[in-house]
Amino acid sequence: MDNPNIIEEAPCIAACAINQDARDYVQLIARGRFEEAFQLVRSKNPFPASCGRICTRRCEEACRRSAVDEPIAIAWLKRFLADKDLDLPQEKPPQEYPEKIAIIGAGPAGLSAANDLALMGYQCVIFEELLEPGGMLSVGVPRYRLPRQSLDKDINETLSLGVELRTGVKIGKDLPIDSLFQEGFKAVFVAIGAHRPSRLNIPGEDLPGVIPALELFRKISIGGGVKIGHKVAIIGGGDTALDAARTALRIGAREASLVYRRSLEEMPCEEEGRREAEEEGIKFFLLAAPVEILGKNKVETLKCIRMRLGDPDSSGRRRPIPIPGSEFTLEVDKVLVAIGQSPELDTFSKAGIRITPKDLIGVDEETMATSRPGVFAGGDAVLVGGTLIEAVAHGKRAARAIHSYLRGEKPVMPQRPSPLKDLSPQRLSLIKRTPRERMSTLPVESRLRDFGEVELGYSDQLAVAEARRCLNCGAGAVVDPELCAACLTCVRVCPYDVPEISQEERVAKIGPDCQSCGICVVECPARAITLKDRYEDQGRIALERALQTFSLKDGRPRIITFLCQYDPHCAGLSQVLDEAGENVRAVEVSCVGKIDPLLILKAFEMGVDGVVVAACSPGDCPFQKGHSWAKKRFDHLVVHIAALGMERQRLQWFSPSPREQFLRKLGGMLEELKKLGAVSSHN
Amino acid sequence: MDEEKTAKPSAEVQETSRLKSGSNLERLLKEGKFVVTAELGPPRGAARETVERKANILRGYADAFNITDCQTSVVRMSSIASGVILLEMGLEPVIQMTCRDRNRIGLQSDLLGAAALGMKNLLCLTGDHPKFGDHPGAKPVFDLDSIQLLSVVKAMRDEKRLQSGTKIEVEPRFFLGAAENPFADPFAFRARRLAKKIEAGAEFIQTQIVYNVERFAQWMTAVRAMGLHKKAFILAGVTPLKSLGMARYMKNNVPGLEVPDEIIARMEKKKSKTEGIDICLEIIEKLRKIEGVAGIHIMAVEWEEVVPQLVERASLLPRPTPSISAVPTC
Amino acid sequence: MIVARPKSFEDIKRYVGNRKKVAIVGCGGCVTVRPVGGQKQVQELAALLRLWAKKEALTRGSQPLTIEEETILRQCEPEFINSLEGRFKDCEAIISLACGVGVQCLADKFPELEVFPGVDAVFMGATIEPGLYWERCVGCGNCIIGETGGLCPVSRCAKSLLNGPCGGSLGGHCEVSPETPCVWQLIYERMEQRGNLGALDRIMPIKDWSVRPGRLVLEHLRVEKKES
Ligand SMILES: Cc1cc2nc3c(=O)[nH]c(=O)nc-3n(C[C@H](O)[C@H](O)[C@H](O)COP(=O)(O)OP(=O)(O)OC[C@H]3O[C@@H](n4cnc5c(N)ncnc54)[C@H](O)[C@@H]3O)c2cc1C
Ligand code: SF4
Ligand code: SF4
Ligand code: SF4
């Protein structure tokens, strides 16, 4: 995002409610630049640890890599960053503006607004009815999906910016909304979420033992004991229902049966959660709806009816129709109702804020402004079935709008970029297949014992490997039309047949299917091509850094080793070399096909005594042809080096595997260079 | 290689009445005699004696003697100069002239001189590329090709004008020949190209060395179909194989020369010079029987000694050739 | 387009000799397109030379070598050459990576400097496949391709024969090298394909080789220079 060279965005970025820079932080991870990656994530998203776990991942749905094999595990990578506990403290911003802002609700919407406003230099106070901040993330989403400490990490970042949190205050009950203005708040953001459970409206609903899932979650989160019984039925098919079922198993239920009106495909839940629920033994009664709850003093039987699917309804899903005479019963001790919730709006309608027919707060979708000046709203309070990232997005939009409102300016809302089109079909076969890196999960037996997190996260190595699968959509090569000589070199060398030169345009055009292999960049005789990706400089900065660390010491000879970051055999090699002593420095490049021979010459010019290129084996190149181009250029360079009278031994091509052999060869080279001395004949 | 040559008796003889050059070769061919020509390679050096020695070996065994023009682009004594030595010895030379080393000015000038020195037979060639010779970096001229050279000389002779159109008082009177390689590609084009040479002025043709008689016969069929054998005398080229090595070299290294495997096999078996001579005699025998072959042209490169026995054993003796004197043609 | 090949580094080293400062000037025309003389090659040659100078510091009398790198749009146009006005003041020599045309234009612009060719222009030719070029025209000034099936025997026949193949044409190859297709074979095949073999029976007249150096005036393109 925010790269002026990029007009159409990677679909992962475009699909995200906050247009999180998925591609860019994934690319940074691929290069092992974790801190920068995390900073980039956090600059847009105050909930990285939470989003990395429970986000609905529109980005992954949109990921172009899906057409090749599987989408990039974008969320897992974000979680990986958040979990690394990188020590990157944010500075508490100075107060820039005098106005104070009141925020009602310490859920993700409220906290996000507070975060951004605090960064702009406003003083914010959050009023929260409960004793803990976090909203549904705290009292809804179960711990095995979102551990408390991860959530707290996110929340504390925001609070550390100087945001004031007043818990145990319910606006409307403890404090009327108008008093906020009287107290001197100049703007209010209403982010109260949706906490009133929807009712089934069937006989027996008020029997003891029938409880809303939300209540169960809330009780557990505040540490209250809950008796769940042996057999539990859960009504609903969304994430909340799944969470309720899985929670029930964790607090002692032997059997959890989920009753849902439609079929598996229609379930409005995350694939992973469902799979994990299945693994844990949850029974699914699909195409079934409750008609009555029976029992003497408490729940005993749940009577259901079978359904079939009719025509699609307004939500686009097929409408379930009861099949007469198909009733059946389930013996149960508890019924958990998880069919949705709505906001509690009485206070707000009384305060003159418009409420929609769907019982939501009415807002302007761009600015989140309500009908009352100075009052803004967002999150679940304005959306049915809202999600974490939408709440964050609303909070951020509201923050901008509030700022404009207070400054008396016209609000400038962030542009929503349009997504790139899909990879063209003829490209698919040219892209190397590489399956997604799996994250390990807790074994089922130990899962059910407590609320320990099920998904265990990525190691550095897995994260990097996964990030390297990213196709860097939209940030590939671009041609400077002023320099292009229409020589066709790029057209001819591209392993993916991306560049085109049309008779009309007369210069090369590189479309969005570019895979960023960098081959054309090196080959273009007019130097007209660059990679848009601002994190890719084809080894230049890395070389400079390596040279700098050399100059601190006098060790001779000095060897620069170019390593392919994509080659698993090179993994960790860079540290090994850097730690091995003062003679060798590693320069990592994302594919040796990106190395410009000029860079090797530059290394020599800057005083190194030898250069090694450590490349994968030909078949392993993620760009298919990167290896062979690198080799061809290398061989050509060897000829030149010889022609200028330099010793052949100074330029070597070693395979990094097996590693001992590589290190042995490198050692041999060191010895030889010691004998040869410096390239230059003056000292 | 472009040096194409050889001969055999052509049946029909027309136009005996008017001789263009008055050369012995022209006269014999027009009388319907089966002629024999032989090649004489000038030395790489200024040794007149070498020319004389070779001429003495060949004397009496052929009707005219081709003197090559820096064959395979190797520098040798000039064809015209060597021709003068032959004339002085009473032998009739066939001057070979390639387009490789001279532009139209040089060619015409040298040919005027050759005529003045008494040369009467001229074989017009394109010439090998300098790449094959001892001066591979030489700039090849090829201002004209062989066909154009024929037309230029014909115009000098018959219309008394130079290529530029300038009239000349005294014309060079040459009996004009060209070479053809029946074995080169495109095969189907070879007879048509011969027709172009004849149209341009060629009156006799010396072919590339024949080893594959069948293929040669095929080509002759095409030649006869176009009636070309009646418009020019065709002399089939032959070369006795000295060794197996030579046979192999000819097969593999000389472009446009076909040596059938059976000949290689025979040379392999016997490994002797006599086998090479026997093969050559068999070829001559077969060639004589082909309609339209007016003579043979023997190219015994640096093996002139073999020519007498070859001609003798082929029963082509005695040659009906009187000694001639060095009298200019004009 | 003009096809060129890089000169050997030996030659370039000789040109630079003991000089302290030289310029390398690339051309954005043919030599960029047939990539031997564009910005990339300018940079590479400069880097190589600096490295060489470093290596040879002693033999070069400890002279450091400074190189000015420049690539102009086309070295064969006065306007572009003029854009270099005032440049290379303290350079002792220029290496041009353009064809001989460009080198000369550059030398005319900088008569006081030694100007060296960094590439050898080899011919006017076409790209057959990336990295493979064949000569296609010699600029003979008298084009006959219309009569030879759209194939040029002047540039593509080793002997520039105009009346059919010599006796060295074999299996479609020219006698000079088995890699060289015999253009007369190709002409023959194309004419056969067109059903027009008869056209080859005509004796092609002797060619009028143009006067060198060529001078071409296209009156309609001339622009009067304003008298000042
Ligand atoms: C069980 C469950 C699972 C979920 N799983 C996911 C998931 O996997 N992925 C996902 O993206 N989303 C999920 N969600 C949805 C997500 O949690 C919500 O969309 C999100 O939390 C909404 O944020 P919010 O800030 O708008 O509201 P909330 O998070 O609900 O926060 C509102 C806050 O306001 C407080 N409040 C309410 N009224 C007042 C008042 N009058 N005065 C003071 N304070 C008040 C509330 O106590 C609460 O703390 C899940 C929700 C549930 C219930
Ligand atoms: S491949 Fe990378 S850039 Fe492309 S959509 Fe997927 S995550 Fe985004
Ligand atoms: S390689 Fe460079 S100069 Fe050539 S067409 Fe592509 S962008 Fe243009
Ligand atoms: S960077 Fe690679 S994939 Fe992209 S256009 Fe260039 S050669 Fe093709």
Look up residue B89 and give its amino acid: M
Contacts of A551 (CB under 8 A, 6+ apart): none
Q: How far is C176 from chain A (nearest CA, A)?
A: 29
pLDDT digits (tens, 9 = 90+) for A522-549: 999 999 999 998 888 899 998 998 888 8
Mean pLDDT of C19-39: 95
- Range C64-97 burial, b when 16+ CB lie within 10 A, else e: ebebbeebbebbbeeebbeebeeebeebebbbbb
pLDDT digits (tens, 9 = 90+) for B215-254: 999 999 999 999 999 999 999 999 999 999 999 998 888 7
The band of A5, judged by pLDDT with boundaries at 50, 70 and 90, is low
Whether A100-195+343-407 shares its CATH topology with A197-340 is answered yes
| Amino acid A67: pLDDT | 95
Q: How far is C166 from chain A (nearest CA, A)?
A: 37
The band of C227, judged by pLDDT with boundaries at 50, 70 and 90, is low
Q: Which of B144, B181, B185, B197 to mutate to test the interface with C (most CBs of C within 10 A)?
A: B185
- The best mutation among A18, A141, A190, A217 to test binding of ligand 1, ranked by most ligand atoms within 8 Å of the C-beta, falls on A141
pLDDT at B14 over 60: no
- Cα–Cα distance between C160 and C175 in angstroms, integer? 13
Are the Cβ atoms of C206 and B144 closer than 8 angstroms?
Answer: yes
Dump strand ranges (E) for chain C: 2-6, 21-27, 66-72, 93-96, 114-117, 119-129, 132-137, 173-174, 177-181
- The best mutation among A484, A498, A517, A520 to test binding of ligand 3, ranked by most ligand atoms within 8 Å of the C-beta, falls on A484
Structure tokens at C56: 């040879």
* Contact (CB, 8 A) for A62 and A11: yes
* Contact (CB, 8 A) for A132 and A151: no
Q: Nearest CA to C182 among C203, C198, C204, C159?
A: C159
pLDDT at C40 over 70: yes
| Chain mean position to CA B137 | 27
- Cα–Cα distance between A55 and A272 in angstroms, integer? 12
Mean pLDDT of C43-53: 95
Please check whether residue B260 touches C, CB under 8 A: no
The residues that bridge with A127 in the sheet, in sequence order, are A104, A166
Mean pLDDT of B85-95: 96
The band of A497, judged by pLDDT with boundaries at 50, 70 and 90, is very high
The residues that bridge with A613 in the sheet, in sequence order, are A562, A653
Look up residue A546 and give its amino acid: A
Please check whether residue C206 touches B, CB under 8 A: yes
| Amino acid A554: pLDDT | 65
Place of tokens 């030489």: B138
Considering only the beta carbons, identify the residue of C36, C38, C43 that sits closest to A598: C43
Q: Is the CB of A109 under 6 A from ligand 1?
A: yes
Q: How far is C77 from chain A (nearest CA, A)?
A: 16
- Cα–Cα distance between B73 and A14 in angstroms, integer? 73
> Which one of the ligands is nearest to A65 CA?
2
Q: Choose the CATH number for A540-682 among 1.10.760, 3.40.50, 1.20.58, 3.30.70.
A: 3.40.50
Contacts of A71 (CB under 8 A, 6+ apart): A60, A61, A63, A65, A436
pLDDT digits (tens, 9 = 90+) for C63-112: 789 999 999 999 999 999 999 999 999 999 999 999 999 999 999 999 99
| Amino acid B13: pLDDT | 41
Q: What secondary structure letter does DSSP report for A93?
A: P
**Domain boundaries A100-195+343-407, corresponding CATH code:** 3.50.50.60
Q: Which of A524, A634, A636, A640 to mutate to test the interface with C (most CBs of C within 10 A)?
A: A640
- Cα–Cα distance between A666 and C64 in angstroms, integer? 31
| Amino acid B323: pLDDT | 53
Place of tokens 């070597």: A652
Q: Is the CB of A340 under 6 A from ligand 1?
A: no
Q: Is the CB of A489 under 6 A from ligand 3?
A: yes
| Amino acid B10: pLDDT | 43
The band of A85, judged by pLDDT with boundaries at 50, 70 and 90, is confident
Look up residue B298 and give its amino acid: I
DSSP states along A256-311: EEEE-SS-GGG--S-HHHHHHHHHTT-EEE-SEEEEEEE-SSS--EEEEEEEEEEE
Q: Nearest CA to B328 among B114, B51, B40?
A: B114
pLDDT digits (tens, 9 = 90+) for A381-429: 999 889 999 999 999 999 999 999 999 999 888 888 899 999 999 999 9
Name which residue leads in pLDDT, A271 or A212: A212
Is chain C touching chain B, with at least 3 CB–CB pairs below 8 Å?
yes
**Between β-strands A283-285 and A255-259, what pairing exists: parallel, antiparallel or unpaired?**
parallel
Q: Is the CB of A490 under 6 A from ligand 3?
A: yes
Please check whether residue C143 touches B, CB under 8 A: no
> Which of ligand 1's atoms lies nearest the C-alpha of A172?
41
Assign A606 to helix, strand or coil. coil
> Which one of the ligands is nearest to A180 CA?
1
Structural domain spans, chain A? 8-88+423-467, 100-195+343-407, 197-340, 477-531, 540-682
| Fold entry, domain A8-88+423-467 | Fumarate Reductase Iron-sulfur Protein; Chain B, domain 2 (1.10.1060)
- Cα–Cα distance between A471 and A67 in angstroms, integer? 12
Structure tokens at C172: 């479609």
Considering only the beta carbons, identify the residue of A486, A524, A646 that sits closest to C55: A646
Q: Report residue B125: phi and psi, to 5°.
A: -125, 155
Considering only the beta carbons, identify the residue of A485, A680, A681 that sits closest to C28: A485
- Cα–Cα distance between C205 and C162 in angstroms, integer? 8
Nearest-10 crossing angle of helices A626-643, C39-55: 40
pLDDT digits (tens, 9 = 90+) for B117-140: 999 999 999 999 999 899 999 999
Q: Nearest CA to A129 among A182, A172, A185?
A: A172
pLDDT at B330 over 60: no
**Domain boundaries A197-340, corresponding CATH code:** 3.50.50.60
pLDDT at B7 over 50: no
* Contact (CB, 8 A) for A569 and A657: yes
The residues that bridge with C177 in the sheet, in sequence order, are C174
- Cα–Cα distance between B233 and A211 in angstroms, integer? 119
In chain C, what are the domains?
Answer: 2-123 (3.40.50), 138-228 (no CATH)
Q: Choose the CATH number for A477-531 among 3.90.25.10, 3.30.70.260, 3.30.70.360, 3.30.70.20.
A: 3.30.70.20
Are the Cβ atoms of C51 and A598 closer than 8 angstroms?
Answer: no
- Cα–Cα distance between C128 and A125 in angstroms, integer? 73
The residues that bridge with B176 in the sheet, in sequence order, are B122
| Amino acid B15: pLDDT | 43
Q: Nearest CA to B17 among B8, B6, B26, B25?
A: B26
Structure tokens at A637: 């360079």
Considering only the beta carbons, identify the residue of C41, C50, C127 that sits closest to A525: C41
Are the Cβ atoms of B147 and C164 closer than 8 angstroms?
Answer: yes
pLDDT at A271 over 90: no
DSSP states along A437-469: PPPPB--HHHHTTS---SB----HHHHHHHHTT
> Which one of the ligands is nearest to A382 CA?
1
Q: Report residue A217: phi and psi, to 5°.
A: -60, -45
Share the mean pLDDT of chain A: 91
**Domain boundaries B3-313, corresponding CATH code:** 3.20.20.220
Mean pLDDT check: name the lowest of A1-15, A399-413, A483-497, B207-221: A1-15
Look up residue A245 and give its amino acid: A
Q: Nearest CA to C85 among C106, C61, C56?
A: C106
Q: Report residue B212: phi and psi, to 5°.
A: -95, 90
> Which one of the ligands is nearest to A508 CA?
3
Half-sphere exposure of A31 (CA within 13 A, CB side): 25
- Cα–Cα distance between A223 and A251 in angstroms, integer? 12
Contacts of A258 (CB under 8 A, 6+ apart): A233, A234, A236, A237, A241, A242, A245, A277, A282, A283, A284, A285
Q: What interface predicted TM-score (ipTM) does this complex get?
A: 0.84
Element containing residue A165 per DSSP (H, E): strand A164-167
Burial group, residue B264, by CB count within 10 angstroms (0-12, 13-18, 19+): middle
Please check whether residue B126 touches C, CB under 8 A: yes
- Range B196-228 burial, b when 16+ CB lie within 10 A, else e: bbbbbbbbbbbbbbbbbbeebbebbebbbeeeb
pLDDT at C210 over 90: no
Structural domain spans, chain B? 3-313
- Cα–Cα distance between C117 and C125 in angstroms, integer? 20
